[in-house]
Structure formats: structure tokens, C-alpha cells
Amino acid sequence: MQPSASASGAQRSLLYPGESRRVLGALETPTVKVEETVYAPGLCVARHFHDTANFIYIIAGAHWSGYSRGGDICAPRTVRFLPAGEPHENYFPVGSRALHIELRQPILELAAEHGHTIRAPGELARPSAAALGARLYRDFRRKDNVSRIDIEAGILQLLLEGRQDPPPRRSPVPSWLLRIREMLRERQNARLSLAELSRSVGRHPVQISRQFHRHFGCTIGEYMRRFRVARAQSLLSRGDMEVAEIALACGFSDQSHFTTAFRRLTGVPPHRYRLQISGKRSI
């Protein structure tokens, strides 16, 4: 068996020669690094390891992966886990596109505070893993300043895949969760993090993300987008601000992201919404 090498620095260029591996987009925070990556058909990657643990969500195109516990096919819409230092090799007979999630020590420690985290390499078999992987990819593609909260929350849930959630029950919204909702409304333009929300109410980030979804029916990021779009609707109806100005005033990084979010939630772009509103007022 050939010795394994760390996939970093110059070694990476040897493992992925030329254009055999291309990064289509990336997002980086203090806790994770996420990349959408395309692998060329026919690529064989020699045995190597990573210094950090990783999740891989297969978007399209199957490939084969071998590691200490054997080898298997990495099929589309599955999530896989690789511990730090796990020797593995890959073969891409038809090419593949995947979301690579590098897990840094702070997020691993944060998950471990809440329960037992996954440790074995291979596919996450629990049905919710595929749904979480798809949600992570959607949040990654949105590239707005609230998607990071949902990405970190989704990764924490994947790390705790072995933990069973208690059955849902009807109960009042906890006061600490109401405080978080008020923070989101008051600081809608700020780039908040799960860690900051956690410190403000003294609750674990996993508990925050799960309870928020249970009581309000959406993720934290989705709630912030809805709140921002609702404010934008109010500003559009007044008619005294340009669309680009409204986008920035409501916390969107640019007009393009604003238009995408607005159309997704209302069914029409901002300009058309303004025309519809002005038409109703003139009747």
C-alpha cells in the first residue's frame, strides 16, 4: 500500500492535475469552509488524507471512494463524513459535482457540547441527512449575509445525526426564543452568527436552531429574509426610494440578491410589485 499524503499545498496540485478539479464557488467563516467543486471524468485520486474533518454532499455524478472501512459508491443526494486524518482514495468514472465542507475545530467542539458526534467515515444513513445536505446547498447558493447562520446550524445537526430529537409537542414559545426573534428584527441589517445568538440567551446553538424551526416554522435565515422582504414591500409602496436603495436599506448585499429573494417570496420582482401597488392605488 502506498503511503498517504496530506491534501494541502503543493500536494493538492499533484492529486488534482490541470483542470481535473475546479472550485465553482466558496464561502468561509471562522468555523467552516464550504466549496462547490467539480471533478473531471476519469480522475483517479491517490490515497491521501485531510488535516480537518469533512462533510461531502454529492450534488450530481456518482464516484467511488475507498477508506479504512472499505469502499463504496458515492451517489447523488447523499452526505458523507470523513474524519480528520482518515486515509482515502477516489475514482470519478463519469465526473462529479459536490459540496465540500471543511469542519474547523470550533464547530466540532460546539457540537460535542450538545451530544455525541459522528466519528466513522462513510455515508450518513439517517433519512434527514439527505434533506439537510440539500438545504445546505440551497443556502450556499443564496450567498447572502444570513445564509451563514443556516449553514452552521445545518452542519451542527449533521454532526449530531446519531442524536434522536424528542417528539414535538405543543407548548408556549420560550421567552429566550422570543428575545432572539426580537434581536433578528432589531438588527436585521447586521451579520449575526449562531454563536452571538447563543451568548445573548445562554442557550446552545443546536437548541436555538431546532426550537426556532419548531415554533416559527422556518430557519433563522429564512425568517430574516421574510422580514426583510416585508419591509421592502412597505418601502416599495411609498415610491420615494430607488430599488437599489431599498435593497441596501433592507440588508441585502446588492440589488441582484434582493431581486432573487423578493421574487422567490412574492412571485414577482420588485419593479413589477411597485407597478402593481401603484396601479391599485390609482383605481
232 CB-side CA count, 13 A: 35
Q: Do domains 12-157 and 227-282 have the same CATH topology?
A: no
Q: Is residue 63 a contact partner of residue 74, using CB atoms and an 8 Å limit?
A: yes
pLDDT at 170 over 70: no
> What homologous superfamily does CATH list for 12-157?
Jelly Rolls (2.60.120.10)
What pLDDT does 1 receive?
41
Q: Which CATH number fits domain 227-282: 3.10.580.10, 1.10.10.60, 3.40.50.410, 3.40.50.2020?
A: 1.10.10.60
Q: Tell whether the torsion through CA atoms of 12, 15, 19 and 22 is positive or negative.
A: negative
Dihedral angle computed from the Cα positions of residues 84, 206, 129 and 55, in that order, rounded to the nearest 10 degrees? -20
- Which pLDDT band, with edges at 50, 70 and 90, does 232 fall under? very high
What residues are paired with 48 via a beta bridge?
A: 5, 88
Domain map of the chain by residue range? 12-157, 165-217, 227-282
DSSP for 201-269, written as a single string: HT--HHHHHHHHHHHHSS-HHHHHHHHHHHHHHHHHHH--S-HHHHHHHTT-SSHHHHHHHHHHHHSS-
What is the distance of C-alpha 81 from the center of its chain? 16
Per-residue pLDDT tens over the stretch 62-72: 999 998 777 88
Q: At what angle do helices 220-238 and 270-282 cross, to 10 degrees?
A: 50
Q: What confidence tier does 3 reach under pLDDT thresholds 50, 70, 90?
A: low
Using pLDDT thresholds of 50, 70 and 90, give the confidence band for residue 86: very high
pLDDT the model gives residue 283: 45
- In degrees and rounded to multiples of 5, residue 258 shows phi and psi of -60, -50
193: its cell numbers: 452568527
What does each C-alpha distance from 207 to 49, 89, 201, 250, 283 come to in angstroms? 32, 36, 11, 28, 49
The span from the CA of 61 to the CA of 64, in Å, is 10
Confirm whether pTM is higher than 0.85: no
